[in-house]
Chain A
Amino acid sequence: MRQVKLVLWIWILGCATLTAQNKQILYDFTEIPQALMINPGMSTDFQWYAGIPVLSGISFQAGSSGLTVNDLFADDGVDFNVKVRERAIYGMSTRDELSGTYQVELFNGGFRGRNRDNFYSFGIYNEGDAIGYWFKDYAILAFEGNADQLGRKFDLGHLKTRGEMLNVFHFGLNKRVNGALTLGGRAKIYSSAFNFSSTKNKGYFVTNQGQNNILANTIDADLELRSSGLNEIEDAIDNDSSLLPGILTRRLFFGGDLGFGIDLGFTYKLNKQTVITGSLLDLGFIYSSTDVKNYTIKGNATVEGIEVILPDAFSNSNTDFWQDLIDEVDALVPHGTNNNSYIYFRPTKLYGSIRYNWGEPSNNNMDCDCNYMVSKRKDYTKYANGVGGQLYMINRPRGPQAALTAFYLRRFGRALALKTTYTVDKFSWSNIGLGLNLQAGPVNIYVMADNLLAYKNLADSHYSSFQLGLNIISWGKK
C-alpha cells in the first residue's frame, strides 16, 4: 500500500512539473544538433559539435488536457467543492490526462567520419516520463459513494497510469545516401531507475437489488500495478534519504533494469525546394527484474451481507458468519503481490514532415570572421524561408495520440533562425510556439517555448513546454 502511495506521489509530482513529449519546434530545425535526437536521418552539415555537459539539451513539458490550475484555484468566489465536482469529477473524461516528460542531456557530441557522408553522434541523457488518465469512476465512487446508484457499474478499467525514470546511452549514424536522401539510425541502451505501470485493468463494481437481502454489492476485477525499483527507493525515503542519490545513480548507470531500443529517420528531397522527413523513436523495451513488486486483484464476488438461513444455520451455531464472509470474498477475489519480472515497452514516437523552402539561400560568404560556419556540402542549401506541416504521434496507454503542426522557419543569415509553430492536439487548439537559434561564432544557443498564448495566464494553460540548449559547433575550415 505504501508503494501505491509512492506511485501516486511520483505521478502527481511528475505530472505537475514535467511536460508532454512533442518537440515540434525542435523537429527538423537543422541548425541545432539536438534535432538529430528526434530525427537521426536529419539533413546535417556539421563537421562536429559538442554539447556543453548538462546544458546542451534541457526540455520540460507539462500537459493537462481536461483541467487547468486556474479552473480549480482561481480566486473567483465559486465554492471549491462545486468546482471540483463540476470541472474535475464530472467535467473530465477518461481520455483526459495529466502527463509530463523531462529530458536532460548529460553530454552529447557528434563528428563527421572519414567518409564525409557519415556523421556520428553519441551521448547520454536522463529522461522521466509519467502519464495518468482521469480515473473518473474511481473519483465518482470516492466523492459520491455507491448509495442510490442501483445498477450503475463503476468501471475499474479507468485506472491507467505509467511512469519511469531512466538514463539513455545512445550512438547514432547519420548517412547521406545521395544528394536527395539522408538516412539515420540510433542504437540506445536504457538503464532504468524505476518504473510503474497499471494499464490493462478491467472490471467493475456495482450495487444491485439483492436476491435475498436488500442490496447486493458485486465486484468483478482484474487489476494489476507493476513496479520495479520502488521498494529500495521507498525504504531510503523512509529511513535514510541520504542513500537516495546513490541508489538512483547506480541504477541509472547500468545497475538497474536494462533495455534496448532504436531510432530511425530519413530526409528526402522531393525537389530542390521541397523536403519530406520522418522518424520513429524509442522502438524498444526494458526488462524489469530489479526490485520488482507487482500488486494484483483478480476475481469476482457478490455480497449481500451475512446470510443465515434456518435450519441450516442451527447446526453451525458457533460459526463466525462475518469471518466466513470475509474469507469467502478473499477466496473469490484474491489479491496479493508477486515479484515476477516483466518486459515493458517504451512510449514509441513517430514524426513526419513536409517542408517547402524558398527565398535567398544563405550566404556562405558572410561578413564575419566565421569560416567555421561554412558548410562544405554543396548540396546543403539553406533557404531563408521554410514552411510546412508536421505530424507527431506517440503510443500511449489509451492508444496513439497525435498532434498536427504547421510551421514557418525564417533564417537571418546563418547566425539567427526563428521557427514558429501552430499545433493542434488534445491539449490545445491554440498552441503557438516559437523557437530561436543563435549562432554566435562557434557557440550555439537555442531557446524554445510553446503555447505562448497561454502566457497571458499561465495558470489557465493546458500545456506548456520549454527547451534550451548550449553547444559548440564546427562546420570545418573553409
Chain B
Amino acid sequence: MFGMKNRILLPTIILLALYSCIETQNFDQYDDLEITPTVEASILYIESPERIINEASGQYYYSQDFNFDGLSVDAFADRVIEGSIFFEIENTTSKEFKPTVEFLDEGGNTIDTIDFPVQQPYQILPYYLQVPYGPGKQRSIEIIKNTSSIKVSVLIEDNSSVSDLPDPKIIFRSNGKFRLRLK
C-alpha cells in the first residue's frame, strides 16, 4: 500500500516542485508611480448691475478683499505643482473700466497683480484670460500656495450713461485648474 502511495505521491510532489515558479518581479517599479490628478473648480463670481454703478456719486470705485483659504490649506498647497486661473469678464453696460485682481498672502501683502486691459462697453462676448503658474511659466506656483485672499478692484468714471442692452451688468467669473502631486 505504501509502495502505491509513493508511486503517486512522490512524482506528484516532484512535478509540482519543478513546475512551480515565479517570474522575476520588480517591486521597485512602485517608486516610479506618479499620481498627479488635475482638479478644477470655480473661485469667485461677482455680479454688479449698471444701476448700482449709476447710483454712485462721482466715480464708482469698487474694491474688496475676499478671504480664500482654499489655495493655502495644506491639503492643497503641499501638493499643487502647476496650474492656471481662468478669468472671464462680461460687460454689457455702457461703461469702460479697467479691473485689477491682486493675490494677497496671510499678512495682507500683495504677492501677485493681474492687470486686465480696459474692458470695452457693450461687450456681449466675454473677455477671457488664462494666467498660468508653475515651473517654466512667468508666475511661480508659490504665489498660489501662499494666497490667502483675493482683492478685486475696479474704477469706473462714467456713472451716468445707460446701456440699451437688456439687464446690463458687469460679471466677473473665475476658476482654477491645478495639477496636484498625490504621489
Contacts and interface: CB of A to CB of B under 8 A. Distances in A.
B49 A310 contact: yes
A215 B68 contact: no
A240 interface: no
Interface string A108-152: 000000000000000000000000000000000111111110000
Contacts of A141: 37
Contact of B42 (A70, A147, A215): A215
B45 A305 contact: yes
A148 B23 CA distance: 40
Interface stretch (B27-35, B91-99, B108-116): B27-35
Contacts, number: 163
Contact of B23 (A144, A303, A434, A457): A457
B33 A458 contact: no
B67 A322 contact: yes
B182 interface: yes
A72 B173 CA distance: 44
A372 to B, nearest CB: 16
B52 to A, nearest CB: 5
Interface stretch (A258-266, A411-419, A468-476): A411-419
A322 B19 contact: no
A204 B182 CA distance: 22
B1 A309 contact: no
B68 A75 contact: no
Contact of B41 (A72, A305, A434): A305
Interface residues of B, number: 53
Interface string A241-257: 00000000000000000
B61 interface: no
A215 B23 contact: no
Q: Which of A217, A303, A306, A460 has most B Cβ within 10 Å?
A: A306
Contact of B25 (A70, A145, A207): A70
A321 B42 CA distance: 14
A336 interface: no
Interface stretch (B5-13, B117-125, B137-145, B159-167): B5-13
Interface residues of A, number: 58
A311 B174 contact: no
B25 A143 contact: no
B47 A145 contact: no
A214 B27 contact: no
Contacts of B49: 310-311
B146 to A, nearest CB: 16
Interface stretch (A4-12, A79-87, A99-107): A79-87
Interface string A440-468: 00000000000010011111100000000
B88 interface: yes
Contacts of A458: 20-22
Interface string B72-91: 00000000000000101000
Contacts of B48: 310
Given A310-B52, A413-B1, A434-B12, A217 B70 contact: no
A370 to B, nearest CB: 10
A73 interface: yes
A438 B8 CA distance: 12
A145 B38 contact: yes
Given A142-B35, A143-B37, A310-B52, A321 B66 contact: yes
A459 B20 CA distance: 11
Contacts of B177: 147
Contact of A322 (B4, B34, B66): B66
A196 to B, nearest CB: 24
A215 B21 contact: no
A475 to B, nearest CB: 17
Interface in A350-369: 366-368
B34 A81 contact: yes
Contacts of B174: 213-214, 305
Given A80-B29, A213-B173, A305 B37 contact: no
A88 B111 CA distance: 42
A73 B29 contact: yes
Nearest to A305: B42
Chain B CB count within 10 A is highest, among A84, A216, A310, A459, for A310
A178 interface: no
29 contacts: A70-B23, A73-B25, A73-B26, A73-B27, A74-B25, A80-B32, A80-B33, A81-B32, A142-B35, A144-B38, A145-B37, A145-B38, A145-B39, A146-B37, A147-B38, A207-B40, A207-B41, A215-B41, A216-B42, A306-B68, A307-B45, A311-B52, A321-B67, A412-B1, A413-B1, A415-B2, A416-B4, A452-B19, A459-B23
Interface of B: 1-2, 4-5, 8-9, 12, 16, 19-27, 29-30, 32-35, 37-49, 52, 62, 64, 66-70, 86, 88, 173-175, 177, 179-180, 182
Given A80-B29, A147-B38, 18 more contacts: A75-B24, A80-B30, A81-B33, A142-B182, A143-B37, A213-B175, A303-B41, A303-B42, A305-B41, A308-B44, A308-B64, A311-B49, A366-B1, A367-B1, A368-B1, A412-B4, A436-B12, A458-B22
- Nearest 7 Cβ contacts at the A-B interface: A145-B37, A305-B42, A455-B20, A213-B42, A147-B38, A213-B45, A80-B29
